[in-house]
Structure 1
Amino acid sequence: MNKDLDNAIAQKGRHIGLVIAGTTVLWLATTLFLGPALGLPGRYALLFDLAALAGFIYAVINIFQLWRMRQDSQR
């Protein structure tokens, strides 16, 4: 494998990990702590859930791209 490609794959993997971890932490913080502390209605919890779902979908798309990068690098 090319060293630049290895670095790109590693960087994309780190990015995906940060997106998943950040989305999870923000989702839990807003849904479990921030929302009830501010007395927000339940519809805001749904909004936070949809935002987290969008973050996870973004991560899945990037995982697929990473998988394709690794497949192309092995050829």
Structure 2
Amino acid sequence: MSEAEDRALARKGRTAGLVIAVTMTLWVLVQMAAPAIGLPGRYALLFDFAALAALIWALVVIYQMWQARRASRENQR
């Protein structure tokens, strides 16, 4: 794997990690704050779905990274 490909995969990994961390932090904060501010359940559910979508996106990115590294190892043999 070339240096540029390594950097690109590292950048993708940092982005996926950041998305996971920010999503879970915001989700926890909304879950704690929603009852205190009287947020209707449907809005909390909407945020749950948005968080789920962000986590699925991160999972897809991680899978793409795994496949790229696997293909790179097979090409080196």
Fold match by TM threshold 0.5 = yes
Number of residues of Structure 1 aligned to a counterpart in Structure 2: 74
1:23, distance to aligned residue in structure 2 (A): 0.6
1:63, distance to aligned residue in structure 2 (A): 0.9
Distance in structure 1 (CA, Å) of the matches to 2:57 and 2:9: 17
1:14-73 CA-partner distances (Å, limit 9, x unpaired)? 11100100110111111212x223211112211111111011111111111111111122
TM-score (norm 1): 0.88
Equivalence for 1:2: 2
Gaps of 5+ in 2: none
Runs of 4+ displaced beyond 2 Å: none
Distance in structure 2 (CA, Å) of the matches to 1:42 and 1:50: 12
Equivalence for 1:14: 14
Give the share of equivalent positions with the same residue, in percent: 53
Distance in structure 2 (CA, Å) of the matches to 1:36 and 1:51: 19
Please give the residue correspondences for 1:10-49 in structure 2 after superposition, counting only pairs within 5 Å: 10-33=10-33, 35-49=34-48
Please give the residue correspondences for 1:47-58 in structure 2 after superposition, counting only pairs within 5 Å: 47-58=46-57
Gaps of 5+ in 1: none
Distance in structure 1 (CA, Å) of the matches to 2:31 and 2:66: 32
